[in-house]
Amino acid sequence: MKNIIISDVTLRDGNHAVKHQINKDIIKIYSKFAEENKIDILEVGHGNGLGASSLTIGRSKVSNLDAIKLAKKNLKKTKLSVHSIPGFSTLEDLKLAIDNGADLIRVGCNSSDIDIIERQFLYCKKNKVESWCVFMMFHQIYPNNRYITIVKNLKKIGIKTFIVMDSAGILLPEDIKKIFKNLRKLNVRSGFHGHNNLGCAVSNTLEAIKHGATIVDCAIRGFGAGAGNTQLELIIALLKKLRISKKFNERHFYNMSDKFVKILKKNKIDYQDIFTNPISISTGLNGLFSGFSPKIRSFAEKYNVSPYDISNLAGEKQLAAGQDDLLMNIAHNLSMIRKKRIKIKLYRI
């Protein structure tokens, strides 16, 4: 038996799946469920975390601050966490989150920009609030084991917990095995956040647990960006079947899985079951943020170009979360190229 910590991201990453329209009713119902069913950590807020609500990224139905306050009312043993990406969030955002009940700050950034997070960690340390490092777009620092040096440097400022976030859903079980074997050698606490673009979220999560991860991010029905996250009720069932943990009553999670879709429909929130579709596969293969999928589809339709061409070019440019506006530029440029080709063909005829 292992003490596996379940970090439930349904009310944060799940916001991506409904254009950040999770409302107060859903927060209230789900936070009560998390507390009653021994979920270790519940994360709330805009899909991109503190300070991210905007016209470009998407406006939240409920502000991060209100989400924190509402969830906290229903949580006692379950810890409340928030996602903080420097650039979107400021120290003032952290202060408001901490003052209103956030127990854990998960400081995330695209792995190529890891040098910008130190200020937020030092702020959390000063205010005696637990903070974790979340390596978003982890595949960017996977080649040549670049992450090993980064982890060693971050340990020096007191960071003890590191989450491997496969934002693009591009990593495979063999990759996960290598990563977590190396993290275990570094004597740090580690966790995994999977996305299902290539259908490996659950298998990758189990591989991470097998090789030392003690924290796993999950969401009910896989509710999350793009092809979705590691499915909570499935992990609960497998933890029991594999005799890893008997902490949870799987029947309660099955019931919530059924109930959750009904809650969304009752609140008139447009939602389609998360599944791996061709665009999600394409973003996965191109190492793109999973949340880009709906915007790639939308821009492809608007400019009458192939979504796969958008995905390929965005991958070449290594676009990261928050650069959504550049997807439109790519689609527009592809459209102009397409029109020029058509004119040339007509001229030749």
| Active site residues per annotation | 16
List C-alpha distances in Å: 32 to 26, 35, 129: 10, 5, 23
How far is the C-alpha of 260 from the C-alpha of 340, rounded, in Å?
Answer: 48
How far is the C-alpha of 269 from the C-alpha of 18, rounded, in Å?
Answer: 7
Outline where the chain has alpha helix (H): 24-36, 64-73, 91-99, 118-126, 146-155, 173-185, 201-210, 232-241, 250-266, 278-285, 293-303, 307-316, 324-348
Strands 161-165 vs 130-136: parallel, antiparallel or unpaired = parallel
How far is the C-alpha of 346 from the C-alpha of 344, rounded, in Å?
Answer: 5
List C-alpha distances in Å: 153 to 28, 63, 197: 40, 34, 31
- Which residues have a Cβ under 8 Å from the Cβ of 35 and sit 6 or more positions away? 74, 75, 76, 77, 78
For the chain, the farthest-separated pair of C-alpha atoms sits apart, in whole angstroms, at 74
- The residue type found at 238 is L
